Amino acid sequence: MDFIVLLLIGLNSVMNAVAGVLFAPVAILPGWLSITIISTVLGVLLLLIFKYTSNQKAIGSVRDDVNANLIAAWLFKDSVSVTIKSQVKVFAASFKLLIYALIPMLVMIVPVSLILAQMGLWYQARPLSVSDEPVMVKLRLNESIKGFPVVRLESSEVFRKTTGPVKIVTKKEVLWELKPLKNGIHELAFEIDGKKYTKQFVVGDRFMKVSLMRPGRNLGDLFLHPLEKPFTKDSPVSSIEIAYPERDSKVCGTDWWIIYFFICSMVFAFAFKPFFNVRI
């Protein structure tokens, strides 16, 4: 498990560097346009990956069988036996197509997941605004530590504490409510037993990427929140979360963006399929 965690941390570091360059235009383009461009490019790239990692000859043969059986079922629709045989063959062929798609899917699943995590930094939430209501910040302590140490949030000119710290002893959590005061990419600094632990704090009115959580060693959290360096295994802090506001859009907004991505990428993949002679 430690090896997988370290591997994922390394992959996130590489993806942060690459996406930092490739996704830079997202900050200046309208959200609907940037996500459409990304979805289109990735849809075509995934189509090409499918072509070169799948058995195109076998898929083509199965597709031809499917078409032949569909035509037979239509031509001999008055014959129950022919119709049933054709339907069974179509079902068997569909299962074969699923088998042939397994290798491309296994090849694509990791890079696609990493790319989606990077897109989530831009589209899943929006930065805080100085006009917003106070936002909740949650620090979760490591389950392995004994007792409940004193956790102090250092004061700063970029926010004002409106509530907290509030301790939830049973969950080993400490909560604050903060009012953002200054635009920019800042850091919240927490002190525990004389050591400092930080979390990115993003305030602004333009398109900016935000990290909802600085994770610990949980694999799911590492996948979903790749931007900030995770806490070490022996850290007293398990994670720090900020409840950033939802991005309000049916195209590039919270949770909607991933639906739009899949629809848009599939549409363009099928649109370009004839040009690249890909059988799916």
The domain spans of the chain are 2-124+253-276, 135-242
Residue 218 gets which letter from DSSP?
-
pLDDT of residue 91: 86
Which pLDDT score is estimated for 78? 73
CA-CA distance, 155 to 111, in Å (whole number)? 40
Residue 76 has pLDDT above 80, yes or no: no
Of the chain, the percentage scoring pLDDT greater than 90 comes to 80
**pLDDT tens-digit readout, 241-267:** 999 999 999 999 999 999 999 999 999
Mean pLDDT of the 73-102 span: 83
Average pLDDT rounded to a whole number, residues 166-191 = 96
pLDDT at 72 over 90: no
Residue 111 has pLDDT above 80, yes or no: yes
The confidence band for 99, taking pLDDT boundaries of 50, 70 and 90, is very high
Mean pLDDT score of the chain, rounded to an integer? 93
d(CA 280, CA 271): 12
Q: Is the pLDDT of residue 280 over 90?
A: no
Q: Which pLDDT band, with edges at 50, 70 and 90, does 88 fall under?
A: confident
| Inter-residue contact 193 to 145 (CB < 8 Å) | no
Q: At residue 108, does pLDDT exceed 80?
A: yes
Which pLDDT does position 253 carry in this prediction? 96
Distance CA(238)–CA(153), nearest Å, equals 16
Q: Which pLDDT score is estimated for 254?
A: 97
Residue 43 has pLDDT above 80, yes or no: yes
Encode pLDDT of 14-42 as tens digits: 999 999 999 999 999 999 999 999 999 99
Q: Is the pLDDT of residue 1 over 80?
A: no
Give the confidence band of 181 by pLDDT, cuts at 50, 70, 90.
Answer: very high
Express as a percent the part of the chain with pLDDT over 70: 100
Contact residues for 76 (Cβ-Cβ < 8 A; gap 6+) = 82, 83, 86
**Is a pLDDT exceeding 90 seen at residue 86?**
no
pLDDT per position as a tens digit, 215-242: 999 999 999 999 999 999 999 999 999 9
Q: What is the pLDDT of residues 113-149, one digit of tens each?
A: 999 999 999 999 999 999 999 999 999 999 888 889 9
- Give me the pLDDT at residue 227, please: 97
CB neighbour list of residue 136: distance below 8 Å, 6 or more residues apart: 175, 176, 177, 242, 243
pLDDT at 82 exceeding the cut of 80: no
End-to-end CA distance of the chain: 35
